[in-house]
Amino acid sequence: MVVSVDGVSSVDDRASGIGGEPDRRAMRALRSGVDAVMVGAGTVRAEKLNLGLDDPGSRQPLAVIVAGNGAVPIREHLVRDPEYPQEVLVFRPEDPHAKNHRKQAHDSVRILPVPANGDGRVDLRFCLEVLRREYGVDRLLVEGGPTLNGALITNHLADELFLTLAPKLMHANPNQIVEPLSRGPQDLQLLSFHQQNGEIFLRYAL
């Protein structure tokens, strides 16, 4: 996640424009070392984004979207190279009355209904088990938004937090990188920090 000095992590639900080129390179470097990249449906709805690597011919991480019951504009907002289409997996809360529990689209997008928690959201622990068992995902990079971040941290499913502090004042209302949790303060362990062009890159263990 990236945040400005005045605590803004997104404007109109978009993080674009807060981090600079060093932050973009850092994010691509993180992506190059993982098996899958996960975002929430709200992130996909907010802006066009690419969840892959810059070189379309290189091995692309699996794109994972955690959705609710609403529409997700994957074809409109998820940028993919038509010659090397990135595989996309969408987790949705399953409908107990539906006859077909798996649906395969024709453009490398698989929609997978999964069990829901009491709040109607997908069971993230189940999703991670599916990713490891069926897709061989060992390392997963999550790029928000706050609701997904908060759910993973609340359920003790996140290991580390990568945070870029951008040298900007956005002059907008501060917002959080993690949805408020129903728990007290949580201490983090600083693993590393790096500075480039005024941007500070922080890596914490949860």
Residue 21 banded pLDDT, cuts 50, 70, 90:
very high
Q: For residue 73, what are the CA distances in angstroms to 11, 65, 70?
A: 20, 11, 10
pLDDT tops 90 at residue 163: yes
Residue 97 banded pLDDT, cuts 50, 70, 90:
low
Q: Give dist(CA 173, CA 46) in Å, integer.
A: 17
Q: Give dist(CA 205, CA 163) in Å, integer.
A: 11
Could you list the residue range(s) of the whole structural domain that residue 116 is in? 2-205
Rounded to a whole number of angstroms, the distance between the first and last alpha carbons of the chain is: 15
- 198 upstream amide cis, omega within 30 of 0: no
pLDDT tops 80 at residue 181: no
Q: Give dist(CA 167, CA 145) in Å, integer.
A: 21
CATH of residue 35's domain is: 3.40.430.10
pLDDT tops 80 at residue 100: no
Q: Give the 3-state secondary structure percentages of the chain, helix then strand then coil, rounded to 5.
A: 20, 30, 50
Which pLDDT does position 116 carry in this prediction? 94
DSSP 8-class letter at 205: E
* Domains: count for the chain: 1
